[in-house]
Amino acid sequence: MAFFGFSLINTSLEPTKPEETARLKMIGELFTQKLDASGKFKIVPVSAEGEKALGSAAIENCNGCEKEAAIASGADWAAWGTVQKVSNLILNINLYMEDARSGKMEFVKSVDIRGNTDESWQHGINYIVKNYLLAPP
């Protein structure tokens, strides 16, 4: 799986803070660590060709570039996420996983979190992974 990270969609009336940008990286690293540790997924680094396929558009708006980028990186699946900040109290974490060859979305899930802290963001990504992605069928 090629993981393209998390991006912030800030629909609040407050500017994006540096700690929020750092939290995007933090939950991305936590996500890849948990998937690697599960043995169900192997995260592959995005290659230079994959980066080129992504271009400069945000992945959620690149019109399918994630499929080409994943395949160019040697992955079968593409994964990425967004965090929507409605306010400092209301945020949601969205995770998308797609079969790069067929284009079929294999996993789409969202969780709401309350509070804009490291702990709440970590709890949100842990919840998605444990209770939805890696939960027994």
Q: What is the mean pLDDT of residues 25-54?
A: 94
- Structural contact between residues 73 and 47, judged by C-beta atoms closer than 8 angstroms: yes
* CB neighbour class for 83 (10 Å; exposed up to 12, middle 13-18, buried from 19): buried
Total domains in the chain come to 1
State the pLDDT at residue 53: 87
Residues of the domain holding 125: 2-133
* Cα 16 to Cα 9, 11, 81, 93, distances in angstroms: 9, 10, 17, 16
Q: How do residues 95-122 score in pLDDT, each as one tens digit?
A: 999 999 999 999 999 999 999 999 999 9
Strands 105-114, 2-10: pairing is: unpaired
CATH of the domain at 83: 3.40.50
State the pLDDT at residue 115: 95
What is the value of pTM for the model shown?
Answer: 0.93
